[in-house]
Amino acid sequence: MGRSESTTPRRKPVGQPTWLPLFLYAVCLPQRSIIYVDGFNLYYGAIKGTPHKWLNLQRLFELLRQDDDIQAIRYFTALMNGSKAQRQQTYLRALATCPKVEVILGRFKEKRIACGVRGCTYPGPRFFNKPEEKRTDVGIAVALLDDAYRDLADRFVLVTGDSDLVPAVSMVKTRFPHKQIVVYVPSRNLIRGAAVELRSAADKDRDLPLVLLPRCQFPASLPDGVGGLIHKPAEW
């Protein structure tokens, strides 16, 4: 008499990996992302006048982009002069303790501009020099295109409202339509936060959620990695 076949479905042994088609693995895996931060745009749009200047950028974007595999956070700024320089240097030292943050420096250039105050009765020269930050938008554009061509990420996250970046964003979308560009505009008002051209060029756009800033501050003192401490500026 032959053995009867069981009608009970066979179960996969516990711990045996489940096979998935390759395209499903691609969907399930977190997207590689690189984040580009316009430092002055972030400061003047969201941080100036708040108690949140001691901002841990890596903590912020790990909270903001929890489903991303963040490859790098590129922070673009320029070295300042005068009374603000020491505080800025202290902040850059704090950022250097974040393994994913890369600081990329531009520079300031003196620009001669005319006084625009109506009714001003000053009898002297009507022109004065004003420092103007240079190279940030170009630096971001070059890094964005270079990273796209080297296939260093699947998603590019821009933290800025600068419309000068629209050509670079459009070029990436033309050359690499499968890559995604996300824009976060740092702003506390509708006028500054409009950024219509840049938002329209991106795949997705959001206002930077300012509610996260208090949760992403460095401690008042933190190790500098070489045996010393970095202290939050007293004015902050």
Average pLDDT over residues 65-79: 97
Share of the chain above pLDDT 90, in %: 69
Give the model's confidence band at 127: pLDDT under 50 very low, under 70 low, under 90 confident, else very high. Answer: low
**Res. 134: pLDDT tops 50:** yes
Mean of pLDDT values over 74-78 = 97
Alpha-carbon span 73 to 57, nearest angstrom? 8
Q: What percent of the chain has pLDDT over 70?
A: 76
Across the range 182-198, mean pLDDT stands at 89
How does residue 178 score in pLDDT terms, banded at 50, 70 and 90?
A: very high
What is the predicted pLDDT for the residue at 82?
83
Give the C-alpha separation, 26 to 20, whole Å: 10
Q: Is 73 helix (H, G, I), strand (E, B) or coil?
A: strand
Range scoring the smallest mean pLDDT among 65-74, 119-128, 195-204, 209-218: 119-128
pLDDT at residue 132 greater than cutoff 70: no
Say what the pLDDT of residue 12 is. 44
Q: Is the pLDDT of residue 21 over 90?
A: no
Residue 113 has pLDDT above 70, yes or no: no
pLDDT at residue 194 is higher than 70: yes
Structural contact between residues 224 and 67, judged by C-beta atoms closer than 8 angstroms: no
Nearest to residue 168, comparing CAs of 198, 141, 150? 141
Spatial contact of 177 and 149, defined as CB atoms under 8 Å apart: no
Average pLDDT over residues 84-109: 91
Coil, helix or strand for 177?
coil
Domain at 30-114+124-231, CATH from 3.40.50.150, 3.40.30.10, 1.20.1600.10, 3.40.50.1010: 3.40.50.1010
On average, the pLDDT of the chain sits at: 86
Compute the distance between CA of residue 82 and CA of residue 28 in angstroms, rounded to an integer: 50
> What angle is formed at CA 154 by the lines to CA 209 and CA 166, rounded to 5 degrees?
65
Q: Are strands 68-77 and 101-105 parallel, antiparallel or unpaired?
A: parallel
